Amino acid sequence: MANYSSNYIRDFATLTAPLRDLTKKDVRFEWTQTHQTAFEKLKNTLAIAPCMSYFDKNKQTFVTVDASPVEISGIFSQKPRNGDVDSQQIIAYASRALTDTEKRYSQTEKEALAINSVPKAMTLQEIINATNADAALTALHDAIKTNKWDSPIVKPFKAVKNELTSTTHGVIL
């Protein structure tokens, strides 16, 4: 249940770090006050209704990331319609525990890891431009439209030709 709800719990990885430590290989299971405190905090967090909002495509959207000694996390939020500059409505939380190797990174490296863990969105125009600049995709678009699959550059795609289509802009789907 906790993992299922992790997207709605701020700093989930940090909150559950003591509990996860008990599940590591070659670690003796010993329940201490630290584990009990983490467990109680997790139970209380799961018991309250999260103050989350639905995504609104018309609102300004933000992705904020951070790194701690044990996790990288992110917040997906939007500015409310009332224009309050200092407040944001939370849409979703994301976090993951750092691996043992990542825990040895410098703080700057952890911050960079957090930044690079956020998916990057592309606009349709960026996809069109990248497709048009790629010789293989341009040739594939032509093969889909003309049904001519003789070119060596498109032969690897011939086996799945019935699963491919392209838009008028040349984007392969």
Domain residue limits at 103: 2-117
Say how far apart CA 172 and CA 161 lie, in whole Å.
Answer: 11
State whether 104 and 136 are in the same domain: no
- pTM exceeds cut of 0.75: no
State whether 95 and 145 are in the same domain: no
State whether 30 and 51 are in the same domain: yes
- 65-107 tens-digit pLDDT: 889 898 898 888 888 777 666 677 778 888 888 999 999 999 9
Virtual CA dihedral for 79, 80, 84, 89, nearest 10 degrees? -70
Say how far apart CA 21 and CA 54 lie, in whole Å.
Answer: 34
**Number of domains making up the chain:** 2
State whether 128 and 154 are in the same domain: yes
Strands, E assignment, the chain: 61-67, 71-78, 89-97
> Considering 75, 90, 117, which residue would you say is the last residue of a domain?
117
State whether 61 and 18 are in the same domain: yes
- 40-49 tens-digit pLDDT: 998 888 767 5
State whether 147 and 107 are in the same domain: no
